[in-house]
Every structure is written in C-alpha cells, then in structure tokens.
Amino acid sequence: MSGQDIDYFQVVKNRLDMYVNAMSEKSGEKEPVSIIGPEFAGACGNGDDIFILMTGTKMFSAAVEGVREYLIAAHMI
C-alpha cells in the first residue's frame, strides 16, 4: 500500500453505501447492529469470525451513541 494515493472520502462513501444496502435488503431486522456487525466482518474478509463481528457491532454502537450525545449537547433532541 505504500506509495499509493488513497481517496479516503471515497472509501468511507463506499463503506456507507455497503451498510445502507445491507440494511435495505434486511429491512425486517429490528436492530441495525445485527446487520452491521456481520457486514463489517464480511468486509474484513472473515464473516464467520465472532471477534470481528463483535468488533463491528461495538464500533457501530459506539458511533451511534456518539451521534446521540452530540445531538443532545447541541439541543437537537
């Protein structure tokens, strides 16, 4: 990877699109974390690894909590 230019915004957009598509396909799920965790593990190359799945689930939960805290602090919710 050294010496290569990386378009980080495109990488983030592609990953977001991947998660949104997965959630659209599995709209019957009650909890988004049950979709995001497995998608994260699959993107990491090992959808069957429980530790990677749990890491994806935890990262998503932490991100959602961070957004919630920001919106509360900004008096938006």
> Contact at 8 Å (CB) between 53 and 43?
no
Q: Is the pTM of this model over 0.75?
A: yes
Closest CA to 40 of 65, 69, 19: 19
**In angstroms, rounded to a whole number, what is the distance separating the alpha carbons of residues 41 and 11?**
16
The sign of the CA dihedral 26, 23, 17, 6 is negative
Tokens of 24: 């659209």
**In angstroms, rounded to a whole number, what is the distance separating the alpha carbons of residues 14 and 1?**
19
Q: What tens digit of pLDDT does each residue of 41-76 get?
A: 999 999 999 999 999 999 999 999 999 999 999 999
